[in-house]
């Protein structure tokens, strides 16, 4: 069981991502204070966390060595930001993706924190140099960008401000590992960080292929889910190259010319024209009608798949 000495964490914003962080930190035995601006938000968040943890426990997928009740007893709601961060060694901000709001929150935290706590933002696309601009405690600031749903998808991109201390990155890296996440160090800030740059490259080519009538939207998705994606859950594109020939050098000798030939045929950034948006939307709605019930059911199915995949990945760890 965590003690104040083992570590306390404050979560600022108790929405979708704040709830996931709270569960992850509790699974690592950390005491968590979940702060939000209204009682209703905090009450809802605590209820959702309870329901989710019970479900995870019943399905044998609860993370960490503590039971659901023990983990739940580590999480408390809070409506006072000063109280929330008191004693915390890590503060994870999870308010909506709005630069002015995030800057306001960090300016507030800057006034009340000591020189030791790590100030971390969950932002998906705001650059650290913008979010943490002008803060006295900038050395302690970092972006820790999770992937939705963070409880099932462990990657966390760590992105420093140019003035972030290396010790802040190291501490956050170790903390992420401790709660079972997979941190990666993004050495320098860049728009989209790494994950979204890769994702947008894929979306971009997918869009061009559909727009040009090369492949249907549903077949395009199948190329990923029954093709590329099968191996990408276990090995990345670079290791794929390494394994698909006698090592990387041999792959590049054999295929770099062919790759360059294909890459030269890639088109411009899509403009996401209305006509193609409607075509893709129609195809998606055949598979998953876009009403709240169907979307929620499909998300639940996706999360169950991810949960089982996570189990498989644990079982398949190379010795
Ligand atoms: P959300 O809208 O579900 O939750 C935001 C929470 O912040 C709400 O509970 C709201 O009441 C609270 N809030 C608003 N103003 C506040 C304030 N001044 N002080 C404290 N709390 C306040 O948003 P979500 O999806 O949880 O996103 C949070 C952050 O995580 C965003 O920066 C987002 O870009 C990032 N993120 C989101 C992902 C996603 O797929 N939803 C994935 C990865 C990162």
**Read out DSSP for 259-288?**
HHHHHTT--PPP---HHHHHHHHHHHHHHS
Residue 2: the pLDDT is 40
Residue 35: the pLDDT is 98
Which ligand 1 atom is nearest residue 101's CA? 18
CB 112 near ligand 1, within 6 Å: no
309 C-alpha to ligand 1 centroid (Å): 26
Residue 5: the pLDDT is 38
Residue 258: the pLDDT is 98
Query: Which residue's C-alpha comes closest to atom 10 of ligand 1?
Result: 13
Residue 6: the pLDDT is 58
CB 12 near ligand 1, within 6 Å: yes
> Rounded CA gap, 160 and 164, in Å?
6
Which ligand 1 atom is nearest residue 125's CA? 34
How far CA 269 is from CA of 196, 202, 264, in Å, comes to: 15, 12, 14
Map out the domains of the chain with their CATH numbers.
Answer: 8-185 (3.40.50.720), 194-287 (1.10.1040.10)
235 C-alpha to ligand 1 centroid (Å): 31
Question: Three-class SS of residue 15?
Answer: coil
CB 150 near ligand 1, within 6 Å: no
Query: Which residue's C-alpha comes closest to atom 25 of ligand 1?
Result: 16
pLDDT of the chain, 319 residues: tens digit per residue: 444 435 899 999 999 999 999 999 999 999 999 999 999 999 999 999 999 999 999 988 899 999 999 999 999 999 999 999 999 999 999 999 999 999 999 999 999 999 999 999 999 999 999 999 999 999 999 999 999 999 999 999 999 999 999 999 999 999 999 999 999 999 999 999 999 999 999 999 999 999 999 999 999 999 999 999 999 999 999 999 999 999 999 999 999 999 999 999 999 999 999 999 999 999 999 999 999 999 999 999 999 999 899 889 989 988 6
Residue 314: the pLDDT is 87
CA 285 to chain CA centroid, Å, is 26
Q: Whose CA is closest to 21, among 233, 176, 182?
A: 176
Q: Whose CA is closest to 310, among 182, 222, 195?
A: 182
Residue 60: the pLDDT is 87
Query: Which residue's C-alpha comes closest to atom 29 of ligand 1?
Result: 94
- Model ipTM? 0.99
Residue 199: the pLDDT is 97
Predicted TM-score (pTM) of the model is 0.94
Residue 184: the pLDDT is 98
CB 95 near ligand 1, within 6 Å: yes
Which ligand 1 atom is nearest residue 14's CA? 9
> Rounded CA gap, 289 and 148, in Å?
21
Do 3 and 30 contact (CB within 8 A), yes or no? no
């Amino acid at each position: 069981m965590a003690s104040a000495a083992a570590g306390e964490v404050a979560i600022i914003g108790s929405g979708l991502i704040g709830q996931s962080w709270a569960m992850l930190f509790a699974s690592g035995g950390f005491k968590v204070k979940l702060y939000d601006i209204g009682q209703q938000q905090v009450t809802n968040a605590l209820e959702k966390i309870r329901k989710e943890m019970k479900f995870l426990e019943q399905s044998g997928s609860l993370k960490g060595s503590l039971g659901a009740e023990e983990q739940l007893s580590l999480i408390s709601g809070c409506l006072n930001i000063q109280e929330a961060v008191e004693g915390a060694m890590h503060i994870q901000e999870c308010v909506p993706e709005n630069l002015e709001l995030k800057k306001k929150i960090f300016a507030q935290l800057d006034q009340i924190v000591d020189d030791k706590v790590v100030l971390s933002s969950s932002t998906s696309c705001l650059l650290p140099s913008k979010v943490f601009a002008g803060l006295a405690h900038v050395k302690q600031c970092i972006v820790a960008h999770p992937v939705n749903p963070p409880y099932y998808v462990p990657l966390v991109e760590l992105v420093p401000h140019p003035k972030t201390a290396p010790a802040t990155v190291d501490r956050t890296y170790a903390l992420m590992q401790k709660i079972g996440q997979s941190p990666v160090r993004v050495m320098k800030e860049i728009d989209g960080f790494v994950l979204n740059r890769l994702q947008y490259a894929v979306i971009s080519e997918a869009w061009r292929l559909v727009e040009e009538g090369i492949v249907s939207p549903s077949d395009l998705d199948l190329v990923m889910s029954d093709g590329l994606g099968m191996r990408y859950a276990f090995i990345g594109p670079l290791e794929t190259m390494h394994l698909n020939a006698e090592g990387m050098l041999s792959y590049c000798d054999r295929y770099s010319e062919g790759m360059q030939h294909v890459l030269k045929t890639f088109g411009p950034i899509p403009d996401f024209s209305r006509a193609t948006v409607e075509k893709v939307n129609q195809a998606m709605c055949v598979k998953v009608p876009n009403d709240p019930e169907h979307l929620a059911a499909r998300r639940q199915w996706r999360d169950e798949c991810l949960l089982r995949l996570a189990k498989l990945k644990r079982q398949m760890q190379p010795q």
